Amino acid sequence: MIRTAARPNDLPASYGFGVTAIAILLLVLALGTTAFYVQSIALIPEVQLGLNGEISLVLAVLNNVGIILPLLVIGLSLFLIVTAIQMLRGNADAVRWAGTIVFWITVGAIILAIFLFFQQSAANDLTGLPADYGRGISAALVPLLLALPTGAASWWMSQNSMLINRNQTLTSRNARMAWNLLIPTIAILIIVAARPLEKTFITSLTDKRFGSSDPVSFVGLQNYTQLLSFRIDTVECRRADDGTCVLDADGNIRWELIARDLLQAGYRPFANIPIGGDRSLALSGTDSEFLTGIGNTLYFTVISVTLELVLGLFIAMVVNSNFKGRGLMRAVMLVPWAIPTVISARLWELMFRDNQSGIINKILLDLGAIPQSQSWLTNSSLQLNAIVMVDVWKTTPFMALLLLAGLQLIPADLYEAASVDGAARWRQFTSITLPLLRPVIGIALIFRTLDALRVFDVFNVLLGRQRLSMATYNYEVLIQEQQAGYASSVSVIIFVLISVFTFLYIRSVRIEAQ
C-alpha cells in the first residue's frame, strides 16, 4: 500500500494527493517504458534471428538498438524511480525536480508525435507506400497519449508552484534552471554527435568493408588489438666486414631486425631508440604504420602547438601595446591564417625545393645556417620539421588572436600599480599577465591541439604516403583499402586521444575553477 506523500500542516490535503499521484505516474512511466522498450527490442526481426542462433546476437542488438539509447532508457528509468520514492517520502526538492521532469517529458512526447506523424505520413518510393495521413496519426497516437497525463501533471505543478517552490534554496533553483537550459542542447548533441560516434564505434567492432554488401561479422576488439599491439626488444646494429655499424643514406645507423618468430607473428619494427654503443630498443607492432602515424602526429602536435603558443603570445603582446599602425598590424597578421591550408602547403612546397630555386634553402645558405641545400620533403629526418614550419606559419596568427582577446581583458590599472611598486616588466609578466591569461591559454591550447591531433591536409598534400598522420592513415585504410571496420577503430582511437588531451588541459590550467 502506497502512503500519501508527507506534506506541511498548513497545505491543503489535495497537495499531498497530487504529489502522490505524480510519484505513481513517474513509477508507471519508468517501469512501463523499460518493459515496452525491452519487448520492442525482442520483436526486431534481426534480434529474433540472433536469439535463434542464426546470426550474431550481439551484432544484431548493436546495429538495431545501439548503446546510447539503452543507457538513456535505463538511466532515466532509475532516475524516475528514485525521484518518485523521494517524493513519497516527502522530499520537497524531489517534488520540484518532478515538475521539471514531467514538463520535458511532455515536450519530448509532443515533438516525437509531430516527427512520427510527418515521417509515417510521407510516401516511400522504396517500398511503394503512398502518402497516408491516417498512418501518421496512428503512429503519433502513442506519444500523444503519453503527453496527456504528463501534461496534466505539469499543469498541476504550475498551478501549485507557489506552494512547491517556497522555502527552496537559491542553489536548488539555479540547478534546475541550468538543467532546463541544458536539456535541449544535450538532446541535440546526442542526435548530431553522440549517435554518429556510437555508429562508428559499433562499426569498429566488425569486419565491415566500405561500399560492400558482403556479410558483416562481429569481431569484438580484434581491430583494436591489431592496431595497438606492440613490443619492445633489444637489437644490435648491422655490421660491415670490418665490424663497424652500417649507416644508411641519411647517416643513421642501420639496425638488425627482430626475431623471426615475431616477424611471422605479424610484428614489424617502426622505430629504434639507441641505448648506447651498438644497441638499440626496437619498437615493433602488428600495425607498424598506425603506430608510426601516432608518433608522427604526437611529434607534430607537441612541437607545433608549443611554438605557436610562444610565438602567438609574443605577437599578441606586441600588438596589444600602443603604437602607430596597430590596427593595420592586427589585420595583416591574420593573412596566413586566412589562406586555405592546401594553398599554403603548395606555396611552401615551392619554397622547400632542394636547390637554389627554393627560397628556404637560399635564405639558409646565405645566412650560413646550412652547408648545402636540403631535401626538406624527401629527407626522412627533415620531413616532420618542414611540416611543423608550415603549420606554425599558418596558425600562429590564430593563437595570437585568441591570446590578444585575453590580454585586452586584463585591467591596465594592475600594470600601473605594479609599476608604481617598482615591479620590472618580467615580474609584471609572470605575476600579472600569465596568471590572468591562464584560462585563455588553456582554451587556445585545446583548440589548437584538437586541430593538430586530427591533422590531415598538410600531411596529405606535402608528404602523401611518405609519412602518415593518424588522419591520413585513416583515409588510406578507409578509401584505398576499403576496410570500414578497421578505419572506424582508427577514428575511435583518435577521438579517445583527443579527449585525453582535452581533459589534461582542463585539469592542468584549472579552467573549471576559474
Instruction: Determine the Cα–Cα distance for residues 233 and 265; give it in Å rounded to an integer.
Output: 15
Task: HSE, CB side, 13 Å, CA atoms: give it for residue 148.
Answer: 5
Q: What does the block give as the cell for 27?
A: 513509477
**How would you list the strands of the sheet with 268-274, edge to edge?**
230-236, 279-285, 268-274
Residue with cell 590596427: 327
Instruction: Determine the Cα–Cα distance for residues 309 and 331; give it in Å rounded to an integer.
Output: 19
Q: Between 290 and 134, whose confidence is greater?
A: 290
Q: Measure Cα distances from 149 to 153, 154, 386 in Å.
A: 6, 9, 66
The residue extents of the domains of the chain are 13-168, 230-285, 290-509
Q: What is the pLDDT of residue 509?
A: 64
The answer to whether 397 touches 313, Cβ cutoff 8 Å, is no
Instruction: Determine the Cα–Cα distance for residues 172 and 5; give it in Å rounded to an integer.
Output: 21
Three-state SS string over 120-151 comes to: HHCCECCCCECCCHHHHHHHHHHHHHHHHHHH
Closest CA to 408 of 509, 513, 316: 316
Q: What is the pLDDT of residue 8?
A: 46
What is this structure's pTM? 0.80
What mean pLDDT is predicted for residues 21-40? Answer: 88
Closest CA to 147 of 107, 119, 117: 107
- Per-residue pLDDT tens digits for 180-205: 888 888 888 888 888 888 888 998 98
Q: Measure Cα distances from 385 to 252, 345, 389 in Å.
A: 17, 14, 6
Q: What does the block give as the cell for 366?
A: 646565405
Fold classification of 290-509 is MetI-like fold (1.10.3720)
- Per-range mean pLDDT, top range of 207-221, 250-264, 299-313: 299-313
What mean pLDDT is predicted for residues 452-480? Answer: 89
273 forms bridges with which residues in the sheet? 281
What mean pLDDT is predicted for residues 384-405? Answer: 91
- Per-range mean pLDDT, top range of 243-252, 384-393, 422-431, 432-441: 384-393
Residue with cell 497545505: 11
- Residue 83 CB contacts under 8 Å (≥ 6 apart), including other chains: 23, 26, 94, 97, 98, 101
Residue type (1 letter), 17: F
Asked if residue 297 has pLDDT above 90, the reply is yes
124 forms bridges with which residues in the sheet? 129
Q: What is the pLDDT of residue 428?
A: 83
Q: What is the pLDDT of residue 241?
A: 78
Instruction: Determine the Cα–Cα distance for residues 239 and 249; give it in Å rounded to an integer.
Output: 15
Asked if residue 128 has pLDDT above 80, the reply is no
253 forms bridges with which residues in the sheet? 247
Q: What is the pLDDT of residue 474?
A: 92
- Per-residue pLDDT tens digits for 406-444: 888 888 888 888 888 887 888 888 888 888 888 888 888
Q: What does the block give as the cell for 218?
A: 562481429
- The SS3 of residue 89 is coil
- Per-residue pLDDT tens digits for 303-360: 999 999 999 999 888 888 777 777 777 778 888 888 888 888 888 888 888 776 778 8
- Per-residue pLDDT tens digits for 490-508: 999 999 988 888 888 777 7
Q: What secondary structure does DSSP assign to 390-431, as a single string?
A: HHHHHHHHHHHHHHHHHHTTS-HHHHHHHHHTT--HHHHIII
Instruction: Determine the Cα–Cα distance for residues 250 and 225; give it in Å rounded to an integer.
Output: 34
- Per-residue pLDDT tens digits for 69-79: 888 889 999 99
The answer to whether 496 touches 380, Cβ cutoff 8 Å, is no
The answer to whether 226 touches 287, Cβ cutoff 8 Å, is yes
Q: Between 15 and 378, whose confidence is greater?
A: 378
What mean pLDDT is predicted for residues 13-20? Answer: 73
Q: What is the mean pLDDT of the chain?
A: 84
